[in-house]
Amino acid sequence: MNFSQFGSDNGTTVIYFHGAPGAPEECAIFDLYAKEHGLRLICFDRFHGDYAIAGEAYYQLLAQQVSKQAAGKQVDIIGFSIGAFIALQTCRYLGNEVRNLHLISAAAPLDEGGFLENMAGKRVFQLAKTFPALFVLLSCWQGLLALLFPKALFRLLFAAAAGGDKALSADQAFQSGIIKVLRSCFIGGVQGYVRDIRAYVQPWKETLSGINVNTHIWHGADDNWSPVAMAEYVQSAIPGCASIEIFNGLSHYSCLYRAAPEICRQLGAGLG
């Protein structure tokens, strides 16, 4: 599986699971902090791999790729948004190989409670769950927008920006970075994106009881993509949860930007 590398070339290996929509370019947020703290971040290009591999075989493949990068050593893992879901499922096949798992703006299972009603992406997830063929058509349309009118796609996705994401979405550097991510995700990666979303909307809450990794949760109190109730649920459902940090005034991506330097600092110091 192809991957992108950020941070220090010879640093301690950390695996980053990007969101959906998302792409390896998302991990660039960590680059400077990773260099400062001697970390080598690896982000797999999940959406441009063999999208026919799905279900448990997909998580097993990812676990094999993590083990390959870890080269016999324990590894730290970071998951953002729906990438946190993929990271959790992958950890089930890694056992003691994972030292710390950091979940940022984590998306919780939809088969637990009424999370969906409060999610900005409610209609997308409903479509993926109930009318999968229409969801594929929607995703292809997003791919066309990403190719021809990427700024319009950005505006659509951030129309309901809340908390710190409002100011962030007006920042030109952020817009440029996210547009790169969206183009990478939807141009040639639609089928991989569809696979991850379809997996996410299926029942998976029962898998959390088997996660014994030292887990840390980072979440924005004003997150309307992954409501803060999701963070609280994941904390209660994971036996290995060691800490939870809720940032007042922050939402989805603003939490990612706030958490990135702190996570790198902790991992560089050998902390959880």
- Cα separations (Å) of 170 from 104, 114, 165, 258? 22, 31, 9, 17
The radius of gyration of the chain from alpha carbons, rounded to an integer in Å, stands at 17
Could you give the 3-state DSSP secondary structure of residue 210? helix
- Cα separations (Å) of 158 from 169, 186, 188, 238? 7, 16, 22, 31
Q: What is the extent of the structural domain holding 254?
A: 3-268
* pLDDT value, residue 272: 61
User: What is the distance between the alpha carbons of residues 67 and 50, in angstroms, rounded to a whole number?
Assistant: 19
Determine contact, residues 153/146, Cβ cutoff 8 Å: yes
Q: Burial letters for 44-56: b for 16+ Cβ neighbours within 10 Å, e otherwise?
A: bbbbbbebebeee
Q: 162: which 2 tokens?
A: 């809340």
* pLDDT value, residue 161: 93
- Cα separations (Å) of 248 from 76, 92, 188, 233, 266? 26, 31, 37, 18, 21
User: What is the distance between the alpha carbons of residues 189 and 187, in angstroms, rounded to a whole number?
Assistant: 6
Write down the pTM of the prediction. 0.97
* pLDDT value, residue 270: 79
pLDDT tens for 197-229 read: 999 999 999 999 999 999 999 999 999 999 999
Q: 233: which 2 tokens?
A: 């649920």
Helix (H) or strand (E) holding 214: none
* pLDDT value, residue 240: 85
Strand order in the sheet with 98-104: 3-7, 39-44, 12-17, 75-80, 98-104, 215-220, 241-247
Q: Give residue 57's pLDDT band: very low, low, confident or very high (50, 70, 90).
A: very high
Neighbours of 148 (CB within 10 A): 9
Name the average pLDDT for the chain. Answer: 96
Rounded to an integer, the average pLDDT of 13-25 is 98
pLDDT tens for 95-117 read: 999 999 999 999 999 998 789 99
CATH code of residue 239: 3.40.50.1820
Determine contact, residues 191/177, Cβ cutoff 8 Å: no
* pLDDT value, residue 112: 87
How many domains does one find in the chain? Answer: 1
User: What is the distance between the alpha carbons of residues 116 and 114, in angstroms, rounded to a whole number?
Assistant: 6
Rounded to an integer, the average pLDDT of 3-17 is 96
> Which residues, listed in sequence order, are joined to residue 43 by a DSSP beta bridge?
4, 16
pLDDT of 136 strictly over 70? yes
